[in-house]
Amino acid sequence: MDLNRRQFFKVAAIGLGGSSLAALGMAPAPAFAEQIRHFKLTHTHETRNTCPYCSVGCGLIMYSQGDTAKNVAQNIIHIEGDADHPVNRGTLCPKGAGLLDFIHSPSRLQYPQVRKPGSSEWTRVSWDEALDRIADLMKADRDANFIEKNAQGQTVNRWLSVGFLAASASSNEAGYMTHKVVRSLGMLGFDNQARV
């Protein structure tokens, strides 16, 4: 529809009147209302989180679909900055604004896998197989190479032939448990990303 300036004002004035009439309950029958796309976050569940990238610690709100019932899997469909957060006040940077793609990255690992010596491929294994294998490997090496006394006969109780690199974005709770387990085994070749 082509409108000149005069026609435009005429239609606009009618439109204004029409809206006012509609507001008084004299609305015409619904026409295209069913085709309106509802605001996609209306029926989502909000969860507060913090950004896992740099150390500013920006507050996030994650929006997920699913009614949070026990038998319903939540699916995060949107992430934005938490406006209540005193540091980021609702903003996110170019990295943080793309967090949804991190959660749903095609590179996310789904299953335990093993690459056998010399092999050029992964083989899927169960968690039991993977963890039993690691426990066996660790115990065999620890029993063979644990050092209880040094050359001077001092008690040293260390295990040097296996090492552990801890993360940079895992939670304090994960870090604390990792430390508790690793030290109880006597490991010293133990560091986290802060070293580099």
Partner 1 sequence: MTNHWTDIANANLVLVMGGNAAEAHPCGFKWVTEAKAHNKARLIVVDPRFTRTASVADYYAPIRTGTDIAFMGGLINYLLTEDKIQHEYVKNYTDVSFIVKASFGFEDGLFTGYDASKRSYTDKSSWGYEIGEDGFARVDPTLQDPRCVYQLMKQHYSRYTPELASQICGMPQDSMKKIWEEIATCSAPGKTMTILYALGWTQHSIGSQMIRSAAMVQLLLGNVGMPGGGVNALRGHSNIQGLTDLGLLSNLLPGYLTLPGDAEQDYDAYIAKRSPKPLRPGQLSYWQNYGKFHVSLMKAWYGANATAENHWGYDWLPKLDIPGYDILKVFDMMSQGKVNGYVCQGFNPIAALPDKNRVMASLAKLKWLVVMDPLATETSEFWRNVGPYNDVQTANIQTEVIRLPTTCFAEEDGSLVNSGRWLQWHWKGADGPGLARTDVKIMSDLFIRLRKRYQAEGGAWAEPILKLSWPYKVPDDPTPEEIAKEYNGYAVADVTDATGAVIKAGQQLSGFGQLKDDGSTASGCWIFCGSWTEAGNQMARRDNTDPYGMKQNLGWAWAWPMNRRILYNRASSDPAGKPWDPKKRLVWWNGKAWGGTDVPDYKADVPPEAGMNPFIMNAEGVARFFARELMNEGPFPEHYEPFETPIGINPLHPNNKKATSNPAGRVFDSVWDTLGQAKEFPYAATSYRLTEHFHFWTKHCPINAVLQPEQFVEIGEALAKEKGIAAGDRVRVSCKRGHIEAVAVVTKRIRPLQVNNQTVHQIGIPLHWGFTGATRHGYLTNTLVPFLGDGNTQTPESKSFLVNVEKI
Enumerate residues 6+ apart whose C-beta is below 8 A from 44.
63, 64, 65, 77, 78
Task: Between 41 and 138, name the residue whose CB sits nearer to partner 1.
Answer: 138
Minimum distance, C-beta of residue 38 to partner 1, in the bound complex (Å):
21
78 forms part of the interface with partner 1 (CB under 8 A): no
71 forms part of the interface with partner 1 (CB under 8 A): no
Minimum distance, C-beta of residue 85 to partner 1, in the bound complex (Å):
7
Q: What is the DSSP letter of 159?
A: B
Task: Tell me which residues in 103-122 interact with partner 1 (CB under 8 A).
Answer: 103, 105-120, 122
What are the C-alpha distances in Å from 166 to residues 34, 115, 172, 178? 53, 22, 11, 8
Task: Between 21 and 114, name the residue whose CB sits nearer to partner 1.
Answer: 114
41 forms part of the interface with partner 1 (CB under 8 A): no
Phi and psi (nearest 5°) for 173? -65, -45
187 forms part of the interface with partner 1 (CB under 8 A): yes
70 forms part of the interface with partner 1 (CB under 8 A): no
* The Cα angle at residue 106 between residues 112 and 68, in degrees rounded to 5: 80
132 forms part of the interface with partner 1 (CB under 8 A): yes
Minimum distance, C-beta of residue 153 to partner 1, in the bound complex (Å):
10
Q: How many residues bind partner 1 (CB under 8 A)?
A: 120
Of 7-15, 17-25, 35-43, 157-165, which segment contacts partner 1 by CB under 8 A?
A: 157-165
Contact 81, 92 (CB under 8 A): yes
Phi and psi (nearest 5°) for 10? -60, -50
User: What count of Cα atoms within 13 Å lies in the side-chain half-sphere of residue 102?
Assistant: 11
Residues facing 141 on adjacent strands: none
Of 3-11, 16-24, 28-36, 98-106, which segment contacts partner 1 by CB under 8 A?
A: 98-106
69 forms part of the interface with partner 1 (CB under 8 A): no
